[in-house]
Each structure stands twice: as C-alpha cells, then as structure tokens.
Amino acid sequence: MGSAAAYFLSRSGKAGNVVVVEPDPSYQFATTPQGAGGVRQQFSVAENILMSRYSLEFYKGFANQMTDVPDLPDIGFVSQGYLFVVTKEGEATLRRNQALQASLGANAELIDYDEIQRRFPSIERDDIVLGCHSADDGWIDPNAGLWGFRRAAEHLGTTFVKARVTGMNSDDRAIRSLQLDNGHVVEADFFINTAGPWVSQIAKMSGGNLPIVPMCRVQHFWKCAHELEPMPLVKDESGMFFRPEGDGFVGGRPSFDIEPGFVDDIYSGFFANYFEETIWPMMAALVPKFEEIRLESSWAGHYAQNTLDGNMIIGRYSPGHDNIVTACGFSGHGIMHAPAVGRALSELALTGAFETLDLSRMEIGRVHKNEPLAEVGIK
C-alpha cells in the first residue's frame, strides 16, 4: 500500500519529495509476499467491487502502465477466474451479490451444480447448489507486484529509507515530523500510515486509535497424484480456497478460532496439525482427487484485521491532525486493492478529497458510530 501510494504520488508530478520509511526493506516480515495474490470482483460492498475493477485492469496492463520503469518484475497475471460455491443456505446471498456485481459491470455469472461439474468436473460435493464464476478474475505474483510498485516509485524519484518510526512531533493542528530509530527526523507536509498489521502502533503516536490487529493466516502448497482440468481460484462458504500454482496447488482456510497477535512458529501450538486435521479433509470433500496429495510446504503471514467489520479504513483518523491519513484493515485484500487505494491515497494527499472513486463510506466515521460495513457471504 505504501509503495503503491508512493508510485501514484510520484507519477503525478505534483507531490514534491516523496519518502517511504520502511523498517523491513527485504520484506522478510511483510504479509504481501506470503499472500495468494488473488484479484476478484466478487464482493457484496460496492466500493470493494469498484476498487477491484480498477485494480484488475491495472494489473492486467501492469507492464504497459510502467513501460518507462527499468527491471520491472513480471507480476505473472493468470486469468483463470474465480469460482465461489455455496450450499442452499448461501444461495440467496450469492444471488444478491452477483446482481450487484453485474450492475457495476463485473462479468460474474451464476451457474448451478450441473454446470459447475460440466466446467470443472473435479469438483464433486453434492451439497453445492450454486456457484458464481467470474471468468475475468485471476491472480498475480504478490511479491512481484510489491517490488513492481517499489521499483516504479523509486524510478520516479521516491526515496526509500531503512528505518523505523519511533515517534511523531505535532502541534494542535498537524503532524510536523517523524522521529526515526536511526536518529534522523523526517519533516513533511503530509503523512500516510500504511503499516499493515503494525498500523495501530503508529496511530497511537499521534493520539489515534485504529481497530486493527494482526491475525495469523497460514497457507499451504501441495501436489496431487491426479491431473485436474485448468481450475479457477475456488472458494466456499467456510473460507476455504485453493488455486493452481505451478505443478501443484496453494490454498488454505482462515483460522477463525485463533486469538489476534503475531505467530512466530506454525509448527507447534494451534497450527501444528492444521493442514492434516482441518484443511485436507475439507479440500478432499470438495475435490475427491485431493484425497491423494503430498504437502510440500506451509507458511504464515498476518492479516491486518479490522475487528469492526473486516473492511478497510481509509482517510483521516488522528484527532486534530488533518495532514495524516491511513489505509488499513484490508483483512487479506491488500495487494488486490493496492492500485485503487494507492491512487485514492495520492488524491487525498494532493487535493484533500476522493476524486476518482468515492470511498467516503470506508472512512473511520463508521468506527466511531459503531456502524459496520461488512461483507456478506463469502469474504
């Protein structure tokens, strides 16, 4: 999110000097490189659909957007679509969501179980009654996407500083500067807090309060003994998903029972047998060919989880300070919406308002009023 915002600010030619303070320039501890990289239009909140539509087209034309950037990594966009599948209990919600998606221009098609099996015969679970297939969707290499934004921002003049913010200097009107752990002070006219799972720590430095916590999510890569037809990213009501990856598959399921916080070791404690006891049986129930698989690797990242409603918060959040904004709490959708949100952040910084896409419903006011704007159905 920070690199995307820096890219759009630098590309505008109106931002002056742009500096990104990054304590982890190798992104060893970042969440983005650990993600599935999915980009989909299947949401129930209009703003998420519209952001996805913009981001989808941006990623499809990523190289063309940045033809002037040397050594731009290939983000490897794979256009194999998304497929949401639901039981009778989720049918009405899926129908409502698809109607909204279609009204906003998304190519999202409802298909019954017979059609699901005709297109994707490896899916065999007789409690499925309906699916929604968005054939234009797909996924990218999220690490390449991150580095692509960073290299483009640097090429356009953004400076990346390896340091950690330890404090803020402010008065009753604005944030004036940042204190860094290397002893330096960064003065600026405008500040953007996109620290992901650590965003709340930064917010407190200026008296702000954001309902964002780190939530561990584990993904897995496995190989199957049987060949499958070309598959989309498939997701069901439980949150379980999988998609093709090279000569195997990646997937998982959010661990809803775990407490918030950073998890350093997924091979002990809650996640020790999570794949064998939870993920594998669910995958094999949906795709019987997955009864014969070999787990190759597992890894963890951390959602920046919005505890109010799971959706992002964007805009001003610090009382009395109009020159600092955030984009946070994406709950797993960060790389998906980075192009649209990076653009929106640049608009806030340069003009003080959303110009291209009105995201005002996603501002912090809903938190103060305790009025959640949550996704309904498959998240």
Q: Nearest Cα to 145, choosing from 78, 86, 75, 200?
A: 75
Task: Average the pLDDT over 298-312 and give the result.
Answer: 95
Q: What is the per-residue pLDDT for 257?
A: 79
Residue 100 has pLDDT above 80, yes or no: yes
Does CATH number 3.40.50.150 belong to domain 2-71+141-210+333-368? Answer: no
CB 163 within 8 A of CB 153: no
Q: What is the CATH number of domain 212-306?
A: 3.30.9.10
> Residues 324-379: pLDDT tens digits?
999 999 999 999 999 999 999 999 999 999 999 999 999 999 999 999 999 999 99
Task: Average the pLDDT over 278-298 and give the result.
Answer: 97
Q: What is the per-residue pLDDT for 350?
A: 98
Q: What is the per-residue pLDDT for 282?
A: 96
Q: What is the per-residue pLDDT for 267?
A: 85
Residue 51 has pLDDT above 80, yes or no: yes
Q: Nearest Cα to 253, choosing from 218, 225, 284, 228?
A: 218
Task: Average the pLDDT over 26-53 and give the result.
Answer: 95
> Which amino acid, one-letter code, is at 350?
L
Residue 82 has pLDDT above 90, yes or no: yes
> Which amino acid, one-letter code, is at 88?
K
> Residues 136-191: pLDDT tens digits?
999 999 999 999 999 999 999 999 999 999 999 999 889 999 999 999 999 999 99
Q: What is the per-residue pLDDT for 230?
A: 97
Residue 103 — φ and ψ, nearest 5°?
Answer: -65, -25
Q: What is the pairing mode between strands 293-306 and 241-245? A: unpaired
> Residues 206-220: pLDDT tens digits?
999 999 999 999 999
| All structural domains of the chain with their residue ranges | 2-71+141-210+333-368, 212-306
Task: Average the pLDDT over 14-33 and give the result.
Answer: 94
How deeply is 14 buried, as exposed, middle or buried, from its count of CB atoms within 10 A (0-12, 13-18, 19+)?
exposed
CA distance 264 to 58: 34
CA distance 342 to 339: 5
Q: What is the per-residue pLDDT for 268?
A: 86
CB 207 within 8 A of CB 318: yes
Q: What is the per-residue pLDDT for 254?
A: 87
- Residue 313's pLDDT band (cuts 50, 70, 90): very high
Residue 6 has pLDDT above 80, yes or no: yes
Q: What is the per-residue pLDDT for 23?
A: 96
